[in-house]
């Protein structure tokens, strides 16, 4: 692919190969988690590596533009927290062998930094609550996860 952006077909093929899911399933309506994950990765790459609008991407994947927005957001959040997903996305980017993959990696890295910041703030809040108000903390944990041994 050298210096030109990959085609949508190339993106679909690369994601299909990495996830071992047929393109027809990625393009279909199935909601099985691995298929949805692969579909969302396609959305992300098509958005990052082409000049297509969300509406145009939606037309290609037979989805509403809000579904495309949701899918891209979901995959960016998952990417920030899942090192295995990061490796798989990197392999897709390598398979596409495009100079534009740098932009996609930059956008994903930015999403990871934002998610790490949120995670860090959440961890600090939990630690503060556990140390300053341990009974409240234990009550909330019990309410959220049920009593131990149930």
- 101-106 average pLDDT score: 55
Mean pLDDT over residues 20-24, rounded?
96
126 domain residue, yes or no: no
Output the pLDDT for position 149. 47
Rounded mean pLDDT of 91-99? 79
Residue showing tokens 């927290």: 81
State the Cα angle at 96 between 98 and 94, rounded to 5°: 90
Residue 31: which domain range?
8-116
- As a whole number of Å, the CA-based R_g of the chain is 19
Domain contains 1: no
* Residue 41, domain CATH: 1.10.1750.10
Of the listed ranges 49-58, 95-104, 105-114, 136-145, the one predicted with least confidence: 95-104
More confident residue, 63 or 140: 63
Confidence class for position 21, pLDDT limits 50, 70, 90: very high
* 131 domain-assigned: no
Q: What percent of the chain has pLDDT over 70?
A: 78
Please state the domain count of the chain. Answer: 1
Of 94, 93, 75, 95, which is closest to residue 85 (Cα–Cα)?
Answer: 75
Of 4-13, 53-62, 95-104, the range with the lowest mean pLDDT is: 95-104
The verdict on residue 140 lying in a domain is: no
CA atoms within 13 A on the CB side of 3: 0
pLDDT band at 35 (very low <50, low <70, confident <90, very high): very high
Task: Give the whole-angstrom CA distance, residue 70 versus residue 65.
Answer: 9
Say if 3 falls within a structural domain.
no
- Could you give the CA distance from residue 78 to residue 108 in angstroms, rounded to a whole number? 10
Contact 80, 116 (CB under 8 A): yes
- Look at residue 127 in the predicted model and tell me its pLDDT: 75
C-beta of residue 96 within 8 angstroms of C-beta of residue 14: yes
Residue 63, domain member (yes or no): yes
Give a yes or no: residue 109 inside a domain.
Answer: yes
Within a domain: 2:
no
Arithmetic mean of pLDDT, 31-54:
94
């Amino acid at each position: 692919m050298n210096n030109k952006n990959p085609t949508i077909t190339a993106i679909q093929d690369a994601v299909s190969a990495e996830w071992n899911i047929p393109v027809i399933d990625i393009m279909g309506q199935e909601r099985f988690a691995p298929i949805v994950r692969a579909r969302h990765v396609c959305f992300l790459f098509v958005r990052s590596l082409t000049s297509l609008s969300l509406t145009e991407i939606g037309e290609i994947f037979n989805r509403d533009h809000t579904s495309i927005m949701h899918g891209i957001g979901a995959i960016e959040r998952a990417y920030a927290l899942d090192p295995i997903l990061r490796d798989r996305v990197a392999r897709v980017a390598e398979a596409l062998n495009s100079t534009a993959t740098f932009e996609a990696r930059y956008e994903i890295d930015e999403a990871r930094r934002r998610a790490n910041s949120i995670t860090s703030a959440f961890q600090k809040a939990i630690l503060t609550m556990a140390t300053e108000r341990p009974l409240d903390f234990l009550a909330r944990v019990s309410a959220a996860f049920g009593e131990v041994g149930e």
